[in-house]
Structure 1
Amino acid sequence: QTLFFSATMSPGVSRLIKSFGKEPQIIEIQQKARTVSTVEQSYFEVRQRSKVEVLSRILDMNPPRLGIIFCNTERSVDECTEDLVNRGYAADRLHGDMTQMMRERVLKRFRDGSVELLVATDVAARGLDIDEIDIVFNYDLPTDPEDYVHRIGRTGRAGRSGRAVSFVFGRDIYRLQSIERYTRQVIRRERIPSVEQVEGRRADLIFDTLKERLESGKFDTYQDNIDRLLEQGHTPTDIAGALATMLREASGREGSMIEEDREPERPARREQTRDPRPPRDTHERDQRDQRGPKPKFERGPIPHEPGMTRMFLSLGKTHGVLAKEIVGMLYREAGLPDGSLGRITLFPKHSLVDIPEQFVGQVIDRTRSARLRGRPFRMDVDRGPV
C-alpha cells in the first residue's frame, strides 16, 4: 500500500497519480476555508517600481522577528534582496539557482535569527518548516491560488497569529478575486503608510533603544568624550539630538516619496452589517404622514481629476458589485492600461467610474456584451442627476 499526502493537489500531480496508480482513492478533509483563521490577510495597491519602498514602510511600522518575501522569479528575488540589504535590513535570498550547500547555509542563518527576512521563490521554500515566522509577503502575486495557500501557510503556525500581505496592481486585482473565491475568504485592502507615519515610528524605535541603554547604564566608555563636548559649550540636549540623528542616518533607511502618495485614497471594501430596525408604532407613522412626503435625495456632483471623464455603470451595491470587480472587468474587457482608472463610487443601484477621456469610446464599445456578476449592464457618460 502506498500513501501520498499533500496539502494541495495540482492538475499535473492528479494526472501522474491516475497514470501510475491502480484505482487510486482520494481522501480529502473538508473545511470551510483553505487558510487558517490565525492569519490576517490584506493587500496593498502598489506599482512595481514602488514595491521596495512600500515593503520598507510596512517592515518599519511593525518590525517582524522573521518574515518571508515571496517572488515569482529568481531575478525578482535577487533584485529585492539587494535592495533590502542596501537599506540596512538583515535579508538573504533562496532560489533554485543556488547550490544545496548555499541554501542550507541561508536556512540555518534564518532559523537562528541572524537573517530576519528571507526572499524566496515558491520552489525553493517548499518544505520550509519554521514556526516563528510572523509575516509573509506576496511581493509578486502568485498565478495559482494553491501557491497562495502554500505561501501564507508559512505563518500562523502552532496556534500563533500571523500576517499575510500581498502587493497588487492593475490586472492583479483579477487574480486576487480568484484567490478569494478559492480560499473562501475576503482579503482586506490596506492604505500605504505615509512617509510621515513611518518617520514617526522610526523615531519612536530610536527613542526606545536609547531609553533601554540609559536604563542599563552601559555607556561609561564614552563618558570622557561627553564631558569634553560639555566643556566646549555644547548643551546635553544638542549632544543627545546629534547622537540620535547619527543613529538614524546609520540605519540607511531614508524614506522617499512614491507615486501612490499623491493619489487620492479610495474607500476600502467592507462588509456592511446592520442591526434589525425596531418596529415603528402607528403614532410615529401618522406623524410622518402629516409632515408630507419625504424630499427626494439629489446626488450632488463629485469632483474628478482633469483629463478624466465620469462614466455611469448600471449596477451598484444592491447587485452585490464590488469596486475591485469593476476594476477587473474594465481592465479585462476594455483593455485599459494598468493604473489608468480613477475614482470609483458605488451607489445602491448604479456606480460611477472615472476613466481617461481618450478611452471613453473604447469602454462603451467593448463592454456592450460584457457581464458583471453574471448580469448585463450599460456604461455611458454620466449626465448627472435627472
Structure 2
Amino acid sequence: MTFNELGLRPEVLQALENMNFTTPTPIQEKAIPHLLSGESDFVGLAQTGTGKTAAFGLPLLSIIDWSNKFPQGIIICPTRELCLQIAKDLAAFGKYLQPDTVVAVYGGADIRRQITQIKKGANIIVATPGRLVDLINRKAIDLNRIETVVLDEADEMLNMGFKEDIDMILNQTPDYKNVWLFSATMPKEVAQIAKNYMLDPLEVSIGHKNQSNENIDHIYYVVKERDRYLALKRLIDVNPEIFGLVFCRTRRETQDVAEKLGKEGYSAEPLHGDLSQAQRDRVMDRFRRRDLQLLVATDVAARGIDVDNISHVINYNLPDDIENYTHRSGRTARAGRKGESLVLINPKEKFKIKAIEKQMRTTFTLGEIPSTEQVFQTQLNSIVQKVVAAPLRHEELDEFMPQIIEMFEGHSKEEVIQQFVSAEFARFLEFYRNASDLNAKASRDDNGGERRERGRRRESDGNAQRYFVNLGRKDGLNPGGLLRVICDETGLNSSDIGRIDIKEAFSFFETKPELANLILDASRRAEFEGKSLNVELTKDSGGGRSGGRSRGGSSSSSGGRRSGGSKFGSKGSSSKSGGFKGKRSSKKSY
C-alpha cells in the first residue's frame, strides 16, 4: 500500500512525495483511513519511532477547514522538545497548505508572543499541558470549537503527573469532538482516559501492548557497583562511532557522569531539569547537529527527544518503572533501523532484567564488558580507517612537503606509521595500561547478598572516626558502592577510607578524625541508586561497637531515608514512588 491509497488531501500527498515518503508504516496504514472517515475516537499503541506523528498529523491536516481562522485541532504532548518537533513535522507535511497557522505553545518561552500567534488565526495548536492550562486560565484561547484532540505520548504525560491538567483541558472542549490517543504503552491510567473521554474507540496495537521494538538488541552487563563508570567508558570505547543517549536516574548522577566524560575527552553533555531552558535548547541543538556524540540525560529531561540515527541507548542505571525503559530503548532503532539498548546492573539486580523481559515480551542477552585487547583492536582499526579514508589535500600540503620529509629523515615507513598511531592512541594506552576485567562474578553468600569485596574488611583503627550510614544490604548497598559514593562526594581516595561494615538495614565506615567535617559537609546531598544516603557521626570513635549516633535515633532501622526510591522493591518491601507535586499516577512496579 502507498500513501496515495489512504485518502489524504492532494496537497499533503505532494508534500510527502517531495519528502520521498511513499510507503506508510503499519500504524499509519491502519490509523489514517479510519481517522479520515469522520467522527470517531481512536487509540493507537505503537513503539516510539514507528511514525505516530504522521499517523495523526497527516489526517488532521487533511480534515482541517483552512478557511476558518480559529483552533480546530489541538495536539497535547509531554515536553517542549516534542512539541517543537511535532510542529516542525506538521509544517513540512502541510507545506502546500497553510502551515503558518500551526502554532506551538510550551513553557519556558514568552507567553505573550504565543498569545499573539494564536490571535492571528491558528488552526492547529501543539501544546504542552501546563502551558495550555495557563492559556485557558488567561482566557487567551477558546477551545469551544475544537473538533479533534490528539493526546501524543499519553503514558509519558501521565507518568510526569499531568493527569489533572489533561482532565481540565478535555473538560473545556466540546462533547462532540474526536479524541485520538497515541501511546507506546497502555497502563491502566491511559485506559482510564479512554474510558472517560472516548465513545467506542477503535484500538489499533502494533505488536503486543508494551512490547519492545523488534529492531532493538537488548544487552545487559553485570558489573560491581564501583565499576559502573569504568564499564560505561569501555562500552563507549569499543563503539568509536557511537551516537547515543546515556540514561541516569538522578540529576546529580547525570551531571557527574557528563562532567567525567567531558574531562576525559569524550564529546558529552548533560540534559536534566536543573538546566535553564536556554541551556537545554543549546544542548539539544548540538545533539541534533551531531556536534555531540553522547547526551547524558534523566528520563524526564529526555522525554520527547526525536532524533534520528541514535545508534545506542546506554542505561547507566535502570529506571524505576518498566514503562520508562520502554521509552528509553525506543529512542534508538527508529524508522526501521537497527539499534542497541545496553544496560549496566550489579550482581543483585538480575531480577530487574527478568521483570522487563516478562512485561515487554522481549529477551535480553548477557554481554561481556569488552577486554583491553578488544578496545585496543577496535580503536586501532577506527584510527587507521579514518586516516586511510581522509581526502588527500595536495594543494594545501605541497609547499610543506619538503619540510615534512626532512623532519622524518632517518625514519622508516613503519616507524612513521607507528609515530602517527601512537600519537592518536596515547590516551587509550595510558588509561588501559593496568586495566582489569570488569565483568562481575555472580557469586553469592549464604544470605543471597553479594560477597564482601576483598580489602574492605580492614581492622578497625582505635583512633579513627566512625560514621553511621542509613542504608544497608536490603537497599542494595555494598562496600564498593558506599566507597564510590563517599569518594565521589568528597574527592577522597579509597585509601582515606578505613573499615566498612555493611549491615542489613544500615552501615558504618571509618576515616581519620581530621576528615570528619569534610565527610559531613560533602555528603549532605549524597544519593545511592536514587535513595538519600545520610551520613552521621557515631558517639564512639573507631573500635567502638555500639553503633549509636550522635544526633539520636535508633540504629536498628534505615534511619532518615526518604520514602521513595526504586519500585523494584524486594519481596515484602513497601517503598513508594516519588512524583511531581504528588500528582504522579501509580505505575506498574518491577
Q: How far off is 1:109 after superposition?
A: 0.4
State the Cα deviation string for residues 89-119 of structure 1 (Å, max 9, x = none).
1111101111111111111100001011110
Change (3 A) 1:251 1:125: same
Aligned match of 2:159: none
Q: Is the 8 A contact 1:46 1:260 kept in 2?
A: no
Name structure 1 gaps, 5 residues minimum.
267-326, 342-370, 372-386
Instruction: Return the alpha-carbon distance in structure 2 between the equivalents of residues 25 and 93 of structure 1.
Output: 44
2:449 corresponds to which letter in structure 1? P
Instruction: Return the alpha-carbon distance in structure 1 between the equivalents of residues 440 and 450 of structure 2.
Output: 15
Q: Is the 8 A contact 1:87 1:251 kept in 2?
A: no
- Asked if 1:144 is matched to 2:356, the reply is no
Instruction: Return the alpha-carbon distance in structure 1 between the equivalents of residues 402 and 261 of structure 2.
Output: 37
What secondary structure sits across from 1:35 in the alignment? coil
Instruction: Return the alpha-carbon distance in structure 2 between the equivalents of residues 43 and 253 of structure 1.
Output: 27
2:374 corresponds to which letter in structure 1? Q
Aligned match of 1:162: 339
364, 378, 383: which is aligned to 1:206? Answer: 383
After superposition, where does 1:344-383 map in structure 2 within 5 Å? none
State the Cα deviation string for residues 114-157 of structure 1 (Å, max 9, x = none).
01111000000111111211111111011211111010011111
Instruction: Return the alpha-carbon distance in structure 1 between the equivalents of residues 222 and 274 of structure 2.
Output: 30
Higher relative contact order (CA 8 A, sep 6+): 1
Change (3 A) 1:263 1:184: closer
20, 28, 31: which is aligned to 2:207? Answer: 31
After superposition, where does 1:1-386 map in structure 2 within 5 Å? 1=177, 2-10=179-187, 17=193, 21=196, 27=203, 29=205, 31-32=207-208, 34-213=211-390, 217=394, 219-220=397-398, 222-231=400-409, 233-249=410-426, 254-255=431-432, 257=434, 260-261=437-438, 335-338=447-450
What is the Cα-based RMSD across aligned positions, in Å? 3.4
State the Cα deviation string for residues 49-72 of structure 1 (Å, max 9, x = none).
322322222223223452001111
Q: Is the 8 A contact 2:224 2:440 kept in 1?
A: no
State the Cα deviation string for residues 256-313 of structure 1 (Å, max 9, x = none).
655644867x8xxxxxxxxxxxxxxxxxxxxxxxxxxxxxxxxxxxxxxxxxxxxxxx
Identity rate, percent: 30
Change (3 A) 1:182 1:189: same
State the Cα deviation string for residues 309-349 of structure 1 (Å, max 9, x = none).
xxxxxxxxxxxxxxxxxx8xx79xx64333569xxxxxxxx
Change (3 A) 1:99 1:25: farther
Instruction: Return the alpha-carbon distance in structure 1 between the equivalents of residues 362 and 398 of structure 2.
Output: 55
1:48 corresponds to which letter in structure 2? E
1:190 corresponds to which letter in structure 2? G
Change (3 A) 1:247 1:180: same
Q: Is the 8 A contact 1:213 1:219 kept in 2?
A: no
State the Cα deviation string for residues 181-218 of structure 1 (Å, max 9, x = none).
10111101011110011112111222222223475656
1:145 corresponds to which letter in structure 2? I
Instruction: Return the alpha-carbon distance in structure 2 between the equivalents of residues 114 and 252 of structure 1.
Output: 26
Q: Is the 8 A contact 2:223 2:438 kept in 1?
A: no
Alignment length (residue pairs): 275
What secondary structure sits across from 1:31 in the alignment? coil
Q: How far off is 1:13 after superposition?
A: 6.2
Q: How far off is 1:247 after superposition?
A: 1.9
Name structure 2 gaps, 5 residues minimum.
1-176, 454-570, 572-590
Change (3 A) 1:180 1:262: closer
1:194 corresponds to which letter in structure 2? S
Instruction: Return the alpha-carbon distance in structure 1 between the equivalents of residues 320 and 382 of structure 2.
Output: 37
Change (3 A) 1:11 1:201: same
Instruction: Return the alpha-carbon distance in structure 2 between the equivalents of residues 234 and 258 of structure 1.
Output: 32
Change (3 A) 1:251 1:194: closer
Aligned match of 2:532: none
Aligned match of 1:309: none
State the Cα deviation string for residues 24-52 of structure 1 (Å, max 9, x = none).
87846273461111111111111233223
1:227 corresponds to which letter in structure 2? I
What secondary structure sits across from 1:40 in the alignment? strand
Instruction: Return the alpha-carbon distance in structure 1 between the equivalents of residues 379 and 293 of structure 2.
Output: 18
Change (3 A) 1:262 1:98: closer
Instruction: Return the alpha-carbon distance in structure 1 between the equivalents of residues 425 and 191 of structure 2.
Output: 54
Question: Normalising by structure 2, what TM-score?
Answer: 0.42
Instruction: Return the alpha-carbon distance in structure 2 between the equivalents of residues 168 and 336 of structure 1.
Output: 16
Aligned match of 2:540: none
State the Cα deviation string for residues 208-248 of structure 1 (Å, max 9, x = none).
222234756565465244323244x3334323322321122
Instruction: Return the alpha-carbon distance in structure 1 between the equivalents of residues 419 and 218 of structure 2.
Output: 40
Tell which deviates more after alignment, 250-259 or 104-113: 250-259
Q: Is the 8 A contact 2:224 2:346 kept in 1?
A: yes
What secondary structure sits across from 2:301 in the alignment? coil
Instruction: Return the alpha-carbon distance in structure 2 between the equivalents of residues 72 and 221 of structure 1.
Output: 54
Q: Is the 8 A contact 1:122 1:147 kept in 2?
A: yes
1:195 corresponds to which letter in structure 2? T
Instruction: Return the alpha-carbon distance in structure 1 between the equivalents of residues 185 and 430 of structure 2.
Output: 39
Instruction: Return the alpha-carbon distance in structure 1 between the equivalents of residues 449 and 390 of structure 2.
Output: 52
Q: How far off is 1:86 after superposition?
A: 2.1
What secondary structure sits across from 2:182 in the alignment? coil
